[in-house]
């Protein structure tokens, strides 16, 4: 009797043959495997916190901070406190999960350890107790936007409509998490705000009370920037680094103070670029499209150089 031979397994096919998808799938698989081997993390992709989950968490915290404007439309009376408590509980539980994933990612482990989950609990607990201070700071930001914009007809309009306020809600939460030891979660929250508002604020930036970003699109604020009280920025302002230090092998050195210090009461108009660890003195005004790489004293008024319109005939001026 002749033994039956085993048929070879069929090669899976994906979609219409004319696209030649099978070959591309195989190439992408090979690249994934090679990348994971280089990272020495085996063939299991490391998990990272979920942007979608974090967007929901920030939405929950925002509603808990401002329930009468960012919460349900029919909220009122004793139901407000119930809503705030329930929303905070849900947001905190989800935050613990996402921070735990960050700690797992940082450690390179294949599973979340009890120690990492305990640390994540501590981060969430600490953030919870910072929320009253965050709400108070945001109140000053909202008031600054209302006082600084003649088009603002109410504080409620500012809270509901202004992208600068939306960006600051995200930043105040992200900065707290950054300081509490969850920098990846914080950066993802900052990028969620960047995507929706066009305002890019690194969660490490230290920003004082009564901060107003008018219009906002294209604003960039670097990690080590320090901004005082009552500062106002317009669209397309950059508070960036002038240069990046490198080691002997040419690799970038991480950290180090490299972004501007902006003192109290400074106004920076649209398109200004301020680079390096320089200081903009208290009460100064920086005009539109100015390029600034040197410190200026308090009370300065910096504008673009004016174009000279003089003419020189017969070789004059040589």
Q: What residues does each domain of the chain span?
A: 37-198, 218-305
Tokens 């200004």 locate to: 272
For residue 191, the SS3 value is: helix
CATH class, range 218-305: mainly beta
pLDDT at residue 282, rounded to an integer: 98
In CATH, the architecture of 37-198 is Orthogonal Bundle (1.10)
pLDDT at residue 34, rounded to an integer: 82
Q: Determine the distance from the C-alpha atom of residue 101 to the mean position of all C-alpha atoms in its chain, rounded to a whole number.
A: 19
> Tens digit of pLDDT for each residue in 71-88?
998 887 778 999 999 999
For residue 289, the SS3 value is: coil
At residue 267, does pLDDT exceed 90?
yes
Give the pLDDT band (50/70/90) at residue 252.
Answer: confident
Distance separating alpha carbons of residues 107 and 84, to the nearest angstrom: 34
pLDDT at residue 41, rounded to an integer: 53
* Average predicted confidence (pLDDT) for the chain: 90
Decide if 72 contacts 24 (C-beta within 8 A).
no
Both structure tokens of 24: 């591309």
């Amino acid at each position: 009797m002749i033994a039956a031979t085993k048929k070879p397994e069929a090669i899976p096919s994906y979609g219409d043959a004319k696209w030649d998808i099978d070959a591309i799938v195989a190439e992408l698989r090979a690249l994934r495997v090679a990348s994971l081997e280089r990272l020495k993390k085996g063939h299991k992709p490391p998990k990272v916190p979920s942007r979608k989950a974090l967007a929901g968490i920030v939405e929950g915290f925002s509603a808990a901070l401002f329930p009468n404007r960012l919460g349900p439309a029919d909220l009122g009376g004793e139901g407000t406190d119930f809503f705030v408590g329930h929303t905070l509980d849900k947001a905190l539980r989800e935050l613990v999960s996402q921070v735990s994933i960050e700690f797992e990612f940082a450690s390179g482990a294949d599973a979340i350890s009890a120690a990492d989950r305990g640390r994540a609990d501590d981060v969430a607990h600490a953030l919870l107790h910072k929320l009253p201070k965050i709400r108070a700071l945001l109140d000053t930001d909202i008031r600054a936007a209302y006082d600084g914009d003649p088009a603002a007809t109410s504080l409620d309009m500012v809270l509901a409509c202004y992208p600068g306020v939306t960006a600051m809600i995200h930043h105040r939460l992200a900065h707290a998490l950054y300081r509490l030891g969850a920098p990846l979660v914080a950066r993802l929250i900052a990028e969620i705000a960047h995507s929706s508002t066009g305002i890019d604020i690194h969660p490490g930036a230290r920003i004082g009370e009564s901060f107003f970003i008018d219009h906002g699109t294209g604003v960039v604020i670097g990690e080590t920037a320090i901004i005082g009280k009552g500062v106002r920025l317009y669209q397309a302002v950059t508070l960036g680094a002038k240069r990046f230090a490198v080691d002997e092998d040419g690799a970038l050195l991480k950290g180090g103070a490299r972004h501007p210090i902006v003192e109290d009461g400074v106004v920076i108009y649209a398109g200004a670029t301020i680079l390096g660890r320089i200081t903009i003195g208290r009460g100064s005004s920086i005009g539109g499209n100015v390029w600034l790489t040197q410190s200026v004293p308090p009370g300065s008024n910096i504008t673009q150089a004016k174009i000279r319109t003089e003419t020189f005939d017969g070789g004059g001026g040589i």
